[in-house]
Structure 1
Amino acid sequence: MVAFPPCPPEALAAAEAACGGTVDLKELTNRRGSAVWKAVGPEGTVAVKIGYDDGVAATLREATTLAAMGLAEYEAVSGSYDGGSWLVTPWFTGPSTWAVFTPTREGTGGREAALRGGADLCRSVADLHASGWIHADLQPSHGIHTPAGVRLIDFAWSWREGEEPVSGFSGGIVHLMAPELAAAVARGDGPVTPTRSSDTYALAGVLWTCASGGWPLDYKAAGIDRKAAGPDGVRDAIATGRLPFAPAVWPELQDALRPALAAVPEDRPTAGELAELLLKVEP
């Protein structure tokens, strides 16, 4: 396990300014050169993220993206320290999409709430697309379900339509990568350009994973040993667009998701249309 780095004084000072005084720091995650804390103070709560080693550029990118978006609910403070970069953002209170679906995965109910939560996540992605942005790294933990609606997080790879592709982007988490992105990465086209359609593919994959606990494609049925193939081999298989879907554990929901997981981008619904499909599913 990688030791949790200390919180830089500059980031700590920014967190204390935002929270109205001394904060308690709770370690949350530390991986791939990015560490995150929850900072709780007398007048508020924020998230503190630092980038070090390979994570410096990602934290800087996310800070730049949040500033360009200009959304009040994502008001952020950022900077650099000796050895890395830091970012302080509002703390969104609520469960992740993965947590919203936990009762359904455990077979204890909650399907109606999961469908509402899934539709809310789709609408949040649709709103992002309407503003001209692509998230490009949707994952089960990247949507927080607050009383005011779903708030997306982790914008390090997000891209504004019409601008140059983000240098170094390689398609996101491989199991949620749309076939056209996987094919572009396999060809060495980089930097790869995400689209609204590839976001919708990942969105449907996230919801499939949250409902079933497994990835949406059935590698075993396709004769693929994931360990032997490695990430590149899995990616190349996804690029064919011919892998079968994993067995359904909630057929009605997963049938609604299948169109968004189509191999051909033009055959997929939009994120907003996917929300409507989910609301038609019987709990």
Structure 2
Amino acid sequence: MTRTVPQLDTIPEPCRRQAERLAGTPAEWALLAHNRRQTTWRTRGPQGSWTVRVGTHDGAAVLARHTAALRRTCTAVPALSYGRHAVSGHLGTIAWLITPWLEGPTTWKALEPAREGSWERREPLAAAVALAAAVARLHQAGWVHGNIQPHHAIHQPDGNIALLDVTWTSHHQHLRPSGRFRGGPVQLASPELLARAEDATAPAYTTQSDDTYTLAASLWWASSGTWHHDFTKAGIASTRGLPTTYLRRVLLTEIMPRSTLTAWPELEEALATVLWAPEPQRPTALQLAQWLRELM
């Protein structure tokens, strides 16, 4: 089936005017991502670069949730301060969100030397510490991110971290968990989150403890290119393309073999302390950040 590539004229005129007023004219537009719910563009002009997200129908509701979370966190969480400059709007069944373009590599990219077997560990380790510390500050402000992944953080040139994809971020007072969330990538999810996601009668809400588990799982994946569960030893050659429900039930019902970080046992020890601790004894993101810092 041929996928239709969205054209610039599909962007609502008020959205396009707002973006070009921020970027300046003439503005260049580049399509970054597109699915049935949301389209993401980059616009660049003499006054700067901006990310433009446009959601339609149910994608508009998801984007509205993202916007609400960013508005509420941007003054309380340093890693989301870029949200102070966000501009949003809606027109009928279409919503949009315009945020500053964020320069810098993702955590996935920052840890690439470790995946490639480099013995130079200081920079990848500094990136891991920075992400853990950013999540710890989010938690200290009372928030839960809800969808931590190595592709959902930008390591900026000034040394600061920007957390992305805050659609499912929540706070016990300021923003309740969304009933739309079903748990994120199962390979990174805590056992408790997997169990909640399996129960279709209740929202798959996330906790700070779930965040910390997913943080450790994300760092394991980004530093090695492998999951912390050894799916191959469990008889699953690859998780790519397998239904989420199937993988979730395997993780909930099978005793999964552990992977190892043979080339980096010190990192394995720090992450394993989070990943295989019983939930009541699971360390915090702040503790993980401190342990990682001690490895530098």
Report the TM-score, using the length of structure 1 for normalisation: 0.91
Aligned position for 1:154: 165
Moved more, 225-234 or 268-277: 225-234
Secondary structure of the residue that 1:172 maps to in structure 2?
A: coil
The code of the aligned residue for 1:25 comes to W
Match of 1:52 in 2: 56
Whether the 8 Å contact between 2:181 and 2:204 is mirrored in structure 1 is: yes
* Structure 1 residue 280: Cα displacement: 2.2
- Segment of structure 1 superposing worse, 222-231 or 250-259: 222-231
Q: How does 1:197-276 map to 2 (within 5 A)?
A: 197-224=209-236, 226=239, 230-240=243-253, 242-249=255-262, 250-262=264-276, 264-276=278-290
After superposition, residues 175-214 of structure 1 pair within 5 angstroms as 175-214=187-226
Alignment of 1:104-119 (within 5 A): 104-119=114-129
Mapped contact 1:32–1:54 kept (Cα < 8 A): no
Give the residue type in structure 2 aligned to 1:281.
Answer: L
Q: Which runs of 5+ in 2 are unaligned?
A: 76-80
Q: 2:294 aligns with which of 273, 280, 283?
A: 280
| Partner amino acid, structure 2, of 1:85 | A
Contact 1:179–1:241 (CA under 8 A) maintained in structure 2: no
Structure 2 letter corresponding to 1:120: A
C-alpha spacing 1:109/1:181, structure 2 compared with 1 (3 Å): same
Instruction: Provide the C-alpha distance between the structure 2 equivalents of 1:228 and 1:202, rounded to a whole number of angstroms.
Output: 21
* 1:97 Cα offset (Å): 0.3
Q: Shift of residue 185 of structure 1? A: 1.6
Aligned residue for 1:164, secondary structure, equals coil
CA 1:259–1:223: 2 relative to 1, 3 Å: same
Counterparts of 2:16 and 2:280, CA distance in 1: 46
CA distance in 1, matches of 2:252, 2:14: 43
Q: 1:240 to 1:195 in 2, by over 3 A?
A: farther
Q: Of the candidates 25, 39, 44, which is equivalent to residue 43 of structure 2?
A: 39
| 1:227/1:172 CA distance change after superposition, 3 Å | closer
Give deviations 1:65-119, integer Å, cap 9, x for gaps.
1112243421211112354211001121111001101122122444110100000
Equivalent of 1:139, from 149, 152, 160?
Answer: 149
- Partner SS, residue 127 of structure 1: helix
Question: Which SS does the other structure have where 2:183 is aligned?
Answer: coil
Query: What's the offset of the Cα at 1:242?
Result: 3.6
Residue-pair matches, total = 282
C-alpha RMSD of matched pairs (Å): 2.2
Asked if structure 2 preserves the Cα contact closer than 8 Å seen for 1:21 and 1:42, the reply is yes
Q: CA–CA distance in 2 between the matches of 1:159 and 1:257?
A: 25
